[in-house]
Structure 1
Amino acid sequence: MSTPNAPYDLVVIGGGSGGVASARRAASYGAKVALIESSRLGGTCVIRGCVPKKLMMYAAQFGQTLREGLQPGWQVAQAEFSMAQWQEAKGKEIDRLEGIYARMLENSGVETIRGHGVIKSTTEVQVGDRVLNTQRILIASGAAPNRSAFSGLELAATSNELLDLSTLPKRVGVIGAGYIALEFACILRGLGSEVSVFYRGDLPLRGFDESIRDRLVTAMKLQGIQLFPDTDFKSLGQQGALFELQTAAGVHTFDFVLNATGRSPNTQGLGLENIGLRTGPAGEIEVNKYSHTGIKGVYAVGDVTNRVNLTPVAIAEGRALAENEFNGKNLSVDHSSVPTATFTSPPIGSVGLTEEQAAKRAPTRVYETEFTPMKTKFSGGEQKTYMKLLIDDATDRVVGIHMLGEDSPEMIQLLGVLYTMGATKADFDRTIAVHPSSAEEWVLLRELTRKVG
């Protein structure tokens, strides 16, 4: 596939999940591929996001189980959490995973180049003193935390720094109401920190189903997390080791402040101006359904495109691009049927439309249930599980599935298969329940809650 004037068939800028997946798939079809990464292989998800976050979540869940007294009949000695020991173990695991990424690239025949890639032309990418000639350029540079929502916000830590802590802060202020903000609020509370969450809206998790948003607020308050909706932010300052968050309602003091106000596409310093590639309103690289930019031979996948900013989506986009370019396929990723999990406490699983979206689209039947799981009830806990099915009234097809409760991330993966296949309510109804389990409630939702739309 290579030509004399283009030593590389593909140069990838970014060694995160999307870039690595695309590079390896392209190389598997004989393409000569170079991948450029200025930091660590694995990107946000592996190094400073999903993976270490979930490792921290495991630690928090264990602490919560201890505080709930385990199951009746157990006696447990006083337990203490060491952030330093967790940090050491986390570091070893992340190093191990990065090593796997490096070996996968090497074994695939992808050349990994360390440094900052700058696009010089549609066929040239510069890394340090080296200029790579290529037929195709794939931008997979991901996203970076926002730091300028109000004065002094740059003083706050982001999730990057939080995941590198060796001591657990006593009093934590979280700024933001997206899934990153709420996940870390629940994790830190589970580890023993006093946590307060500040956000501008009336409810957290904008874009999620309203029923889920309402119930998560209740669940977080039950854990002792203080919520401050409708916050008018003024400034963040620092006095010695303490941070002072100034809002219209007053001043709040913390040992640690987490900036979780969102992330923006990471396009600075890539040389986009050299090829006339403009970014969209949020700084994103605009692409079509095949991940093509408006510039021939230049492509983009993952968070830098600001479509559906999830690791598995970036991987799917990257692989589809490689299949199309090097294996003659015509693939695109359906962004409307992506199952998602939010690792709050309790966690959330969702796929498809929210009730609000479904009601605007067509008449919709709503089936829902809320209950205290057996394990929670037996151990004296109060957290409830909530499930909702949204059914298109004309076709009986499932158009939305939402859950708040233990094991929802595991359930939503398989429920996502049913959603993608076009399952109907009748399919759920004729499925035999697995008893006793929380999952059986999905096939026992017989009574209509309401009709909307």
Structure 2
Amino acid sequence: MSDFDYDLFVIGGGSGGVRAARVAAGETGAKVGLAEMDRYGGTCVIRGCVPKKLMVFASEYAGMPAEARAYGWDIGDGVFDWAAFRGKLNTELDRLEGVYRKLLSGSGVDSFDARARLKDAHTVELSTGEVKTAKHILIASGGRPVRPDMPNAELGMVSDDLFHMERLPKSILIVGGGYIACEFACILHGLGVEVTQYYRGAQILRGFDDEARGLIADAMKERGIDLHTGTNIVEMHRSHDPREEGLEAAPVEDKQYGGDHHAGPSDGAIRVKATNGNIREFDAVLFATGRAPNTADMGLEEAGVTLGRGGAIEVDDYSQTKVPSVYAIGDVTNRVNLTPVAIREGMAFVETVFRGNPTPVDHALIPSAVFTQPEMGTIGLSEEAAAEQEEIEVYCTSFRPMQTAFADKSDRVLMKLIVSKASRRVLGCHIVAPGAGEMIQLAGIAIKMGATKEDFDRTVAVHPTMSEEMVTMRNPIRTA
């Protein structure tokens, strides 16, 4: 008979936590409990990847009528109905949350709809007043978007709020230049919102390949997004106080982070002064300026868990903290903040702890996609990072794809390979094109296996496709 209530207690019902809980319970026979204080599915399913990608799909229809007419179709422009889309979106998210709950119950996991915090190395205290003990505790509490520290920052939304909007704003200022900022700039523009974007850096999408992010920035501007780099907010305030007219949007309880957030743009324009001297008014402001791990008020440091920069839980290669019984996976560790990575980390944790097979997490060569318009798919090193590491050859082509060129659109795509001169291995692959996320998943298999440029060259092209360029680039355009 165990001295503990559970073999494993998981804090967090997102993708990583749920995977670890149900595999440990369903496949190894462990007795598992899990606590989630908000909705099951976490950031990805409820307020991230899934609803965002559905919004991407919705926004892409904006340009289809014009393109269809270029192909001979007699079709008129449509009108986007946010209310209808939002209703269907919420129904889908409810369905997915139900799937997550069913997966847990079907695996024999005890679920608790409560906030959990550590009482000690083997004890979890729930907001319901219950106390549970466990041989192992896994923290998978994820991350949250943060507002900048400036006066009136509460007037702006964060990414979570976008999915609760009662209506679309007519105009929006997006502050930030990372993938979340750029994706939502493209989404909202496609849905008919007048989008302005401020980013304090010299170019958007810092950390990605320079050539790829430059093409995306140009495409965003050409589509009508008013993008300003080297620009930030100096101050912001209401043009008038809507409360005087009884127009303030009703705050919505924010169970996850404490405090309130607003369900969409509040009535009354927001006046913003920028570092470039411009003073403009917007219906809404979105801060996409960073995320932070959910570690506040969880009793972690008191229990001996070490927190690093920004409050991230420090772990070793096996996701173990300084407290031997406590592990952490996913965004709360701020290693690689991607849903499939959190799932892999959860699986490696189960393999290590419950199957007795120590399995380090592999964070090398992870393919990823940025769902801007056009999309970017990437794996491995950028040209800049690779050139700092060793001598390289760069194979690259940019062109107008057949589909949009026929419709007389100026859209361009990019196909790029970074190759080691010494080993001939492909060190990085960067694609900017419609469907780039789908392409990079398949290219990622070859690159993870250690494919060389000659392996790519030996592959027969599929014609006519955009991606055939990946296997037909024979000569480097430059070396570094």
Q: TM-score, normalised by structure 1?
A: 0.97
How far apart, CA to CA, are the structure 1 residues paired with 2:231 and 2:405?
35
Q: Which residue in 1 is equivalent to 2:269?
A: 242
Q: Is the 8 A contact 2:306 2:321 kept in 1?
A: no
By how many angstroms is 1:332 displaced? 2.0
1:149–1:261 contact (8 Å) kept in structure 2: no
Q: What does residue 416 of structure 1 align with?
A: 444
Which of 12, 16, 19 is the matching residue for 1:18? 16
- The alignment status of 1:304 with 2:302, answered yes or no, reads no
SS at match of 1:390: strand
CA distance in 2, matches of 1:149, 1:189: 27
> Match for residue 455 of structure 2?
427
Q: Read off the aligned partner of 2:144 and give its amino acid letter.
A: A
Residues 104-143 of structure 1 mapped to structure 2, 5 A cutoff:
104-127=103-126, 128-143=128-143
Partner of residue 191, structure 2:
191
| Residue deviations 1:357-389 (CA, integer Å, cap 9, x gap) | 100111011000001111011122111000110
The 8 Å contact of residues 25 and 323 in structure 1, kept in 2 or not, is answered as: no
Aligned to 2:101: 102
Q: Does 1:322 align with 2:350?
A: yes
The count of corresponding residues between Structure 1 and Structure 2 is: 450
Once the two structures are superposed, what CA deviation does each residue of 1:158-209 show, in whole Å capped at 9, x if it has no partner?
1111122232211110010000000000011111111000011010111101
Selected match of 2:365 from 337, 340, 354: 337
Residue among 395, 413, 418 paired with 2:423: 395
**Whole-angstrom CA distance in 2 between matches of 1:445 and 1:333:** 34
In structure 1, what residue type is equivalent to 2:123? E
The one-letter code sitting in structure 2 at the alignment partner of 1:364 is I
Aligned to 1:230: 230
Structure 2 stretches lacking a partner, 5+ long: 243-267
Structure 2 SS opposite 1:167 = coil
Report the 3-state secondary structure (helix = DSSP H, G, I; strand = E; otherwise coil) of the residue aligned with 2:352.
helix
Q: Deviations over 1:372-422 (max 9, x none)?
A: 111011122111000110001001000000011111000000111011100
Question: For the residues of structure 1 that align with 2:292 and 2:57, how far apart are their CA atoms?
Answer: 28
Which residue pairs with 1:4 in the alignment?
2
Q: Which residue of 2 aligns with 1:204?
A: 204
Instruction: Name the Cα RMSD after superposition.
Output: 1.1
TM-score after normalising by structure 2? 0.92
Check whether the contact 2:175–2:232 (CA below 8 A) recurs between aligned residues: no
Match in the other structure for 2:169:
169
- Please name the residue that 2:311 is paired with: 283
Shift of 1:70: 4.9
Task: State the distance in 1 between where 2:369 and 2:337 align.
Answer: 12
Shift of 1:69: 4.1
CA shift digits 1:111-160 (9 cap, x unpaired): 11011001000010011210001011111000011113433222211111
The amino acid that maps onto 2:226 is: Q
The alpha-carbon deviation at position 250 of structure 1 amounts to 2.6
Q: Deviations over 1:210-229 (max 9, x none)?
A: 11111111100110101111
Q: Determine the C-alpha separation between the residues in 2 that align with 1:385 and 1:414.
A: 18
Using the TM superposition, give the Cα deviation of residue 67 of structure 1 relative to its aligned residue in structure 2, in angstroms. 3.8
Alignment match, 1:182: 182
Per-residue CA deviations over 1:31-59 (Å, capped at 9, x if unaligned) read 00111000000000000110001111111
Counterpart in the other structure of 2:62: 63
**How many angstroms apart in 2 are the aligned matches of 1:441 and 1:52?**
32
Query: Is the contact between residue 66 and residue 77 of structure 2 (CA under 8 Å) also seen in structure 1?
Result: no
2:300 and 2:29 map into 1 onto residues whose CA distance is 28
The equivalent of 2:467 in structure 1 is 439
Pairs within 5 Å for 1:357-368:
357-368=385-396
Query: In structure 1, how many angstroms separate the alpha carbons of the residues matched to 2:74 and 2:165?
Result: 31
- In structure 2, C-alpha distance between the alignment counterparts of 1:5 and 1:232, rounded to whole Å: 56
Quick check: 2:65–2:76 contact (8 Å CA) kept in 1? Answer: no
Q: Which residue of structure 1 lines up, in the alignment, with residue 384 of structure 2? A: 356
Q: Give the equivalent residue in structure 2 for 1:218.
A: 218
Q: Measure the CA separation in 2 of the matches of 1:319 and 1:149.
A: 37
Question: Which amino acid counterpart does residue 5 of structure 2 have in structure 1?
Answer: P
Structure-1 separation of matches of 2:356 and 2:279: 60
Opposite residue 150 of structure 2, the aligned amino acid is F
